[in-house]
Structure formats: structure tokens, C-alpha cells
């Protein structure tokens, strides 16, 4: 998004002119893209402006971490975690390699479909157990948005911040506390 963030207004205009609804999601690092320097590694004023623009467009839906109107969500959709890695999903590669999530990388390979039972991997794999017990980081624990953004993606936090419980680089807490008040002056 760092290269195409300047195209957000045009993309929204194009969707409106074509009478389309669009959903915006962040690119998440996977495989060779883990070290891609074009991924958002920190929120910037330019990022915050794009977030405001996307949230204000009636034809645009954004993923939870970018949602500024979280209070409008149905209570059923509010939870402490939206990540299904190791709790309701698993990833199986073509060669049978299994991991809790495709975005976590090779360090989270948990076994092989052709060598291990799915039940054994699901129940006993240290990688699946780890994903079921990811602690909230200190910033997220005290944040008023944690039920809205779900602390977002552990893989994103791992690859950008260095650990599963690092702060998410796209967190909007600074936006609400620092940037948004300046816009209303």
C-alpha cells in the first residue's frame, strides 16, 4: 500500500463510477514477501488520510483494523480475536505441509498430511498450541478498540514487529488519539 496509497481517491472514484462496492484489505506478508519493504511498517499521516477517505466512502468496506466506525458493528461480530489460525483453520500446502496459517512462514510448519494424522497435528502441534495462546500486547490490552479491530493479524505483527504479540503497524489507536483531533481544529 505504500506505493499505491496515493491512488486511493482514484480507486474510490472508479468504483463509484462503475457502481461497485469494494472491500479494502491490507497486503499481508507471506513467503518471499515477508521482507518486502513496500509493506506498511508504520502508520503515517498519508496512511491516516487514506483510512479517513476509505471510511467516508459509502461504497467502500475496509477490514476491521482500518474501520473507524467500529461502534456500528453488530455485537455478534465483536470479539477479542478475529484470527482463525490454529483455532478454526489450518493451511495445507500441495506437498502436504501443514501450518496454522499460510502467512506465518516456514517456522510454523507443523507436520505433513502424508506423514502425520490431521488430528495429531491439530491437537498436539506446538505451533498450533502457540497460535491458540497468543497473548495480547500491552497496547492492545488497554485499547478501547480491541473488540473492533481484534488485535488484527499475528502474522503481520510477527513479520513487521518481530513477535506474535508486537504492536500492529497499522493500528489506528494513534490515529484516534493524535491525528484525528488535529484534523478537527
Burial degree of 101 (CB within 10 A; 0-12, 13-18, 19+): buried
Would you tell me how many other CB atoms lie within 10 Å of the CB of residue 110?
Answer: 24
C-alpha cell at 86: 490454529
Average pLDDT over residues 64-70: 70
User: What rounded mean pLDDT belongs to the chain?
Assistant: 79
Rounded Cα distance, 140 and 58, in Å? 28
Above 90 in pLDDT, residue 121?
A: yes
Average pLDDT over residues 103-128: 93
In tens, the pLDDT along 33-44 reads: 666 656 666 777
Residues contacting residue 23 through CB under 8 Å, at least 6 positions apart:
60, 61, 62, 63
Pairing of the two strands 22-24 and 111-112: unpaired
Please give the pLDDT value at position 120: 93
Please give the pLDDT value at position 159: 83
Is pTM, for the whole model, over 0.85? no
Rounded Cα distance, 85 and 43, in Å? 25
Rounded Cα distance, 121 and 155, in Å? 20
Please give the pLDDT value at position 89: 85
Please give the pLDDT value at position 36: 64
Rounded Cα distance, 150 and 128, in Å? 19
Give the residues across from 112 on adjacent strands.
97
- What band does 129 get if pLDDT is binned at 50, 70 and 90? very high
- What band does 59 get if pLDDT is binned at 50, 70 and 90? confident
Rounded Cα distance, 71 and 118, in Å? 39
Rounded Cα distance, 166 and 148, in Å? 18
In tens, the pLDDT along 70-98 reads: 555 444 444 456 678 888 889 999 999 99
Please give the pLDDT value at position 51: 84
Give DSSP secondary structure letters for 119-149: HHHHHH-HHHHHHHTPPPPHHHHT-TTHHHH
Average pLDDT over residues 22-37: 70
> In terms of Cα–Cα distance, which of 87, 82, 107 is closest to 158?
107
Average pLDDT over residues 106-135: 92
Give DSSP secondary structure letters for 102-118: TTS-GGG--EETTTS-H
Please give the pLDDT value at position 4: 75
Please give the pLDDT value at position 97: 95
Amino acid at each position: 500500500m505504500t506505493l499505491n496509497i496515493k491512488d486511493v481517491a482514484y480507486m474510490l472514484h472508479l468504483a463509484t463510477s462503475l457502481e461497485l462496492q469494494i472491500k479494502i484489505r491490507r497486503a499481508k506478508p507471506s513467503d518471499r514477501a515477508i521482507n518486502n519493504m513496500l509493506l506498511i511498517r508504520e502508520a503515517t499521516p498519508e496512511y491516516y488520510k487514506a483510512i479517513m477517505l476509505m471510511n467516508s466512502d459509502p461504497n467502500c468496506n475496509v477490514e476491521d483494523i482500518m474501520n473507524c466506525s467500529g461502534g456500528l458493528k453488530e455485537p455478534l461480530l465483536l470479539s477479542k480475536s478475529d484470527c482463525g489460525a490454529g483455532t478454526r483453520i489450518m493451511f495445507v500446502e500441495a506437498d502436504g505441509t501443514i501450518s496454522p496459517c499460510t502467512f506465518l512462514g516456514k517456522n510454523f510448519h507443523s507436520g505433513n498430511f502424508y506423514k502425520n494424522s490431521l488430528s495429531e497435528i491439530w491437537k498436539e502441534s506446538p505451533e498450533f498450541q502457540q497460535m491458540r495462546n497468543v497473548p495480547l500486547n500491552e497496547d492492545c490490552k488497554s485499547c478501547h478498540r480491541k473488540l473492533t479491530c481484534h488485535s488484527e493479524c499475528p502474522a503481520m505483527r510477527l513479520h513487521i514487529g518481530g513477535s506474535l504479540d508486537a504492536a500492529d503497524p497499522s493500528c489506528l489507536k494513534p490515529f484516534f488519539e493524535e491525528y484525528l483531533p488535529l484534523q478537527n481544529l
